[in-house]
Structure 1
């Protein structure tokens, strides 16, 4: 798949399913996870929680040293393709928040339940139609709720949330509200503005460290880094 994507769709970003990657990690590192150590927890942190590449490299080095996996072939192979699974390298890819193939795997499981040796082609297609009908019914139900029911506002007087509540589906709107909540926890420590560049040092409540955010007026581009 990776070779085909590089040839046919060269501008796409090929990512790995995080669920399958963790399952492979348990398979290859299971003997190192005994005794109550936190190898899997630290691996997940590298995968999901770090949004700066330099911090990822530091955390990965600490993981290797702490659990003495310098010569582990699986660890080496996974690190070599880190841009396909680590959050700090995946942030530039447009994924709509999807990091695993869980949705398709769930659909596959529904179909596989009807694929038994004693099931003929007619029985299979009847099962197939039931699965598809169930999915379509759920989709119509969500569409109806989004069109006829008001979204739950955490901040009822916020114009932004009121506007987005009318535009987004309830599921997407809840994701937007979570980001909005994080925005409310931010504060600006420093502000430096010029004709062409605006720079801000930003911090978050109960979060160690700061971010330096720069806005280039000419290119309308935004860059940021940890400080």
Structure 2
């Protein structure tokens, strides 16, 4: 019963959660794409197991390398929001950090045109510095 109602609450529950650009289906699509490089439809069971083992070894190795890089390499901070950028560098992988840095840089190209503050929310209107386009 509760499982059938999850569509009613899951989106609302996760609405304000940041996932670093990942969609809900993106992870399974990515794994399927990765495994398809190692598998073919005519594989015998022992070949299948050998291919899966090789694929899993590569995934584990890539994850260990990413962990090592995150622990031992610190990116150069270059945006105008140094504290936010530093925090993002500490909590996200280098790949996701790159996306966060891109968002910070995109924010630097905006200026606040208007601010409407009511009892429950604040709504800002932004304009790009160069083109004058509203965003």
TM-score, length basis structure 2: 0.69
Larger radius of gyration: 1
1:134-168: CA deviation from partner (whole Å, max 9, x where unpaired): 11100111011001111243338822212322222
In the alignment, which residue of structure 1 is the partner of 2:133? 208
Q: Within 1, Cα distance between the matches of 2:119 and 2:80?
A: 37
Tell me by how many angstroms 1:105 deviates: 2.8
Tell me by how many angstroms 1:193 deviates: 5.2
Q: Is the CA contact 1:189–1:203 (under 8 Å) kept in the aligned structure 2?
A: yes
Q: Within 2, Cα distance between the matches of 1:148 and 1:128?
A: 30
Match of 1:135 among 34, 38, 59: 59
Q: Within 1, Cα distance between the matches of 2:79 and 2:39?
A: 44
In the alignment, which residue of structure 1 is the partner of 2:105? 181
SS in 2 for 1:112: coil
CA pair 158-123 structure 1, distance change in 2 beyond 3 A: same
Q: Is the CA contact 1:111–1:127 (under 8 Å) kept in the aligned structure 2?
A: yes
CA pair 133-207 structure 1, distance change in 2 beyond 3 A: farther
Tell me by how many angstroms 1:132 deviates: 0.6
Q: Is the CA contact 1:156–1:162 (under 8 Å) kept in the aligned structure 2?
A: no
Q: Within 2, Cα distance between the matches of 1:93 and 1:198?
A: 16
In the alignment, which residue of structure 2 is the partner of 1:105? 32
Q: Within 2, Cα distance between the matches of 1:196 and 1:93?
A: 16
Tell me by how many angstroms 1:9 deviates: 3.1
Unaligned runs of 5+ in 1: 1-5, 14-91, 211-227
TM-score, length basis structure 1: 0.45
Matches within 5 A, 1:59-98: 92=15, 96=19, 97-98=21-22
Aligned residues: 124
Q: Within 1, Cα distance between the matches of 2:49 and 2:112?
A: 59
Aligned-pair Cα RMSD in Å: 3.2
| Higher RCO (CA 8 Å, separation ≥ 6 residues) | 2
2:41 aligned with 1:9:
no
Unaligned runs of 5+ in 2: none
